[in-house]
Structure 1
Amino acid sequence: MLSKFRPVMVLLLAALLLSLVGCAPKAAADGPKTVKVLTMQQAGPTPEEMNEIVAKFNEANPNIKVEIEYVSYDALHDKIATAMATNPPSYDVVLVDDIWYAEFAKAGYLWDVTAKIDAQTKEKVFAAAWDITTVNGTTYGMPWLLDAKYFFYNEKILAEAGFSAPPKTWEELVEQSKVIKEKGLVEYPIAWSWGQAEAVICDYVALLFGNGGSLVDAEGKPAFNNEKGVQALAWMLQTIEDGISNPASVSYVEEDVRNVFSQGKAAFAVNWLYMYELANLNADESQITGQVKFGLMPAFAGSGVESATINGSMGFSVVDKSPNREAAWEYVKFLTSESIQKEYSAHLLPVWSGNYEGEALDSLTKLNEATPVTVPAFKAQFPFSHVRPKVPYYAEGSKALQLAIQEALTKLKTPQQALDDAAAKWVELQAK
């Protein structure tokens, strides 16, 4: 009799065990989802500020744990590309420069978030900011860093040299620099980011467009090797030879420029917005606090250009193959939210257009010590900013142009030869 019921008992026992297993804690599934973020340590909020933001998000979202990794800007592109080779990828959220969106979108690295951007968000963020993260009508992230390179000067040094205002043209800068040198105020009046990195492209773009030139023509063909581009590069070389530009600039990136300027060893500098607070308001980082001013980026006399600079904006994107895309998107929304951007606006200004109007503008300019100066500087300079071509081959093309500029500045080639070689490489890349 017992043997007759044994199969039934076995089935009941199995069902009971399965139900108990179903009720057991699911540590992996129900625990916090880990969102790994890759960003840069160079411009925008400091790592300490970014860590504060992460802590606030983790506290407000106990089901999500954000872990953040910092690399230099120059390592960021290749770090992202390498991370995409693993499955799942090494990161869930990545900081993307506007010049990489076309390449990464074509490669399938980034999650299409077009449908996740509601109409209100779309309307409240600067229209130009969406151009950063959008490729062929598809949005791949949230704009985060609206930035341009700015022209900084040391008011005390200029006053000691007898000048009451900064130069409006690059020719005026040379003349003021000569006086500054003659008076022995500094050895090299200006420091640049001319190392063989994307930084030199940013400085070159400001000079190129400030001479009435452009990187590409209306048909997308390289135009930097025409007369305007060659003149800009030749001017760079001449300022080194004349002792106007610090010769070490050929190895500098932006942090090097900040350090030299903050030590009072340069009267002028070209850098991102973040330098203002560190150089002018932070005595732990600077020997020239209270002496730093903004001037509109100069242009070349006779170019018909009032000012020109580089648009260095960036966005945060979710990796398409991330197993935690929804959780990652929650963090991106939090990080780029209006409230967080306002709170950390000392080193990064909001992408939310409403902050620059009426009472909101008045509030923004009173948020901290920096914004009364940086907000007007942004409003004055950003309209003169220029984007680099949004093409899939930009990273390779940029490296060719970086090399060309380095070869010209170190006299391995003439400016014309160097730029012609880089232009030929761009044509080759276009044909692929």
Structure 2
Amino acid sequence: MNISQQLGKLKRGIFRIKKIPRFFILLIATIATIQFLILPALTQQPVTVQVLMSALEAAQWQEFVDEFEEQNPNINLEILEGPNETNLVEDLYTSAFLLGDSPYDLVYLDIVWVPKFAAAGWLMPLSDRVSQDQLSKFMQGDVEGGRYNGELYRMPLRSDGGMLYYRTDLLKQGGYEPPETFAELMQISQALQQQTGVEWGYLWQGKQYEGLSAMFVEILEGFGAFWVNPDTLEVGLDQPEAIQAVEFLLNTIEKEVSPPGVTTYAEEETRRLFQNGEAIFLRNWPYVYPLAADSEIAGQFAIKPMVHQPADSSGACQGGWGLGISQSTQHPDEAWKVIEFFNRPDVQKRFSLATGYAPALKSLYTDSELVAKYSYFPQMLEVLEKAVLRPPIAQYAQASDILQRYLSAAITQTMTPEKAMNRAAQETRRLLGD
């Protein structure tokens, strides 16, 4: 075939292509669209994101789960119900990660778990997902409690902090202003115990458990002392100021300002005594307020930051919960969408309105609707702005166990405060490799 014949054949082919009816072209395009774009979208299953919470909080968040799924139809959010005891929830997370086949995409974290989980490599860094401007909207203590070695691993969800409750009616009756120092707390307690017949002056958590460590962090801060410096790993438990802090607690028992049984009390024992009208002062967490407001002392109490030495500052042990992303998840972007939703101001506001929990967003403490329901929120903000972290170290659980044992020995008088704190400091230094 010569060149002119080949050109003629090519022209006839082009002509035939041009003569293909338009509807055939449209049909082919439609089939391709269905095959490559529409069918995959219709057959793609929603991604499931799982997180473990206590049964109580799982129930409290359920209405928000439904709302999230409505707004994100490609994501199923599944909250698995765990036990209500915090330590058991931690054990379930730990076991799942150690076995290497964790089902959890999100991790609902108590603030003291962050260093342990981050050091073990179980959490995904979050700093590249959130700006400093966004973080500045949260309580500073909550944000700092989500860091380990300078990296952010947890976004705050709800806050918590220790505070001093006091009977406004009894102080008014005695002509006293709320105490600012440890000495004033003792003096007012003793005077009002005599004047009013109220049995106890000051209640605190003295049982050997994590609550004892949390409470003691505030006393240490008030005496200008410290537990462990996370940057240098210096231990301060055997310093004179730390020993004075222990002596103060022991003194409350010896002078009958606190009951002898306080060494066995946790939060609930102290709450019940206070709201039953059996004490003037109480150290406890924010959850107590709405419960006491529905008791026989309703309208007769208020809150303030913890007392301190004249030359030192008040401290509120930073508590609270937040969400991190599991390092093993296959769906980190979908998990982050859950975090973003739960951290929306309107969601946190509605959750606080429903539960009374302290929100992590600063602006909500002066929100008119929240303050109308919880009049103490502005005072709680003042408390939480004085937050003090428990040492953010990977060995925190072991360090806390050491402190609990020796602090308990001191307040039950099986060891002197000096001997107990010296022993606690020595064991903590060995734990930290000093």
* TM-score range normalised by the length of the shorter chain: 0.7 to 0.9
- Map Cα deviations across residues 163-197 of structure 1 (whole Å, 9 max, x no partner): 34222212111122212322453222222122112
Greater CA drift, 210-219 or 196-205? 210-219
TM-score w.r.t. length of structure 2:
0.80
AA partner of residue 226 (structure 2): S
1:57 to 68, 71, 74: 68
Q: After TM superposition, list the pairs within 5 Å mapping 1:402-417 onto structure 2.
A: 402-417=404-419
1:188-199 to 2 correspondences below 5 Å = 188-199=200-211
The 2-side partners of 1:403 and 1:57 are apart by: 44
Q: How far is 1:427 from its partner?
A: 0.8
Q: Name which of 87, 104, 111 aligns with 1:98.
A: 111
Letter of the 1:374 counterpart: F
Superposition deviation, residue 205 in structure 1: 1.4
Aligned mates of 2:46, 2:110 — CA distance in 1? 33
**Match for residue 37 of structure 1?**
52
Q: Does 1:224 align with 2:231?
A: no
Q: 2:336 aligned with 1:317, yes or no?
A: no
Determine what percentage of the aligned residue pairs are the same residue: 25
1:375 to 352, 356, 378: 378
State the shift of 1:120 in Å. Answer: 5.3
Task: Work out the CA distance in 1 between the residues paired with 2:41 and 2:351.
Answer: 39
Q: Alignment partner of 2:297: what SS?
A: coil
Task: Please give the per-residue CA displacement for 1:134-173, whole angstroms capped at 9, x wherever unaligned.
Answer: 223432121223332111112223334x134222212111
Q: Distance in 1 between matches of 2:189 and 2:133?
A: 49
Q: Measured at CA, do residues 295 and 200 of structure 1 come closer, stay the same or move farther in structure 2, by a change above 3 Å? A: same
Find the counterpart in structure 2 of residue 300 from structure 1. 309
**238 and 65 in structure 1: CA distance in 2 versus 1, 3 angstrom threshold:** same
Displaced runs of 4+ in structure 1, greater than 6 A? 23-27
Structure 1 gap ranges (5+): 1-18
Instruction: Tell me which residue corresponds to 2:423.
Output: 421
In 2, are the aligned partners of 1:114 and 1:138 still within 8 Å (CA)? yes
Q: Comparing 403-412 with 70-79, which one deviates more in the overlay? A: 70-79
- For 1:163, the equivalent position in structure 2 comes to 175
How far 1:401 sits from its partner (Å)? 0.2
1:270 counterpart SS class: strand
367 and 79 in structure 1: CA distance in 2 versus 1, 3 angstrom threshold: same
Q: Take 2:115 and 2:87, find their aligned partners in 1: how far apart are those partners?
A: 18
Structure 2: which amino acid aligns with 1:395? A
- Name the TM-score, length of structure 1 as normaliser: 0.81
Identify if the C-alpha distance between structure 1 residues 25 and 332 changes in structure 2 by more than 3 Å, giving closer, same or farther.
closer
Rg larger for = 2
Q: 1:324 to 1:155 in 2, by over 3 A?
A: same
Name the SS for the 1:310 alignment partner. strand
Structure 1 CA distance for aligned equivalents of residues 55 and 128 of structure 2: 28
Q: 1:329 aligns with which of 332, 336, 353?
A: 336
**How far is the alpha carbon of 1:317 from its aligned partner?**
1.1
Work out the CA distance in 2 between the residues paired with 1:200 and 1:173: 20
Work out which of the residue numbers 93, 110, 122 in structure 1 matches 2:123. 110
Deviation at 1:371, TM superposition (A): 3.9
Q: In structure 2, what is the Cα distance between the partners aligned to 1:238 and 1:32?
A: 58
Query: Secondary structure at 2:200's aligned position in 1?
Result: coil
2:99 alignment partner, SS class: coil
Secondary structure class of the residue paired with 1:95: strand
The alignment partner of 2:370 has SS state of coil
- Match of 2:370, as an amino acid? L
> What displacement does 1:100 show?
2.8
Please tell me the root mean square deviation across aligned C-alpha atoms, in Å. Answer: 3.0
More off after superposition, 222-231 vs 329-338: 329-338
- Single out whichever of 172-181 and 306-315 deviates more from structure 2: 306-315
Aligned residues: 392
Q: Return the letter of the residue paired with 2:182.
A: W
Per-residue CA deviations over 1:195-235 (Å, capped at 9, x if unaligned) read: 11221112111111111211135743111221111111122
Q: Residue by residue, what CA displacement relative to the aligned partner does 1:250-309 show, whole Å, maximum 9, x if unpaired? A: 2222233222222222221111222222222xx2xx3322122013321134xx024233
Q: CA shift at 1:58, angstroms?
A: 4.2
Distance 1:405 1:137, change over 3 A: closer
**1:269 paired to 2:282:** yes
Given the superposition, is the C-alpha separation of residues 219 and 118 from structure 1 closer, same or farther in structure 2, using an over 3 Å criterion?
Answer: closer
* Shift in alpha-carbon separation, 1:326–1:38, aligned structure 2, 3 A: farther
Distance change >3 Å, CA 82–CA 253, structure 1 → 2? farther
Instruction: Pick from 86, 89, 102 the counterpart of residue 102 of structure 2.
Output: 89
Q: 1:430 aligns to what?
A: 432
Q: Distance in 1 between matches of 2:172 and 2:248?
A: 26
1:95 touches 1:314 (CA, 8 Å); kept in 2? yes
Paired residues of 1:273 and 1:374 also in contact (CA < 8 A): no
Paired with 1:241 and 1:427, the residues of 2 have a C-alpha distance of 31
SS at match of 1:84: helix
Q: Could you say which residue in structure 2 is the equivalent of 1:201?
A: 213
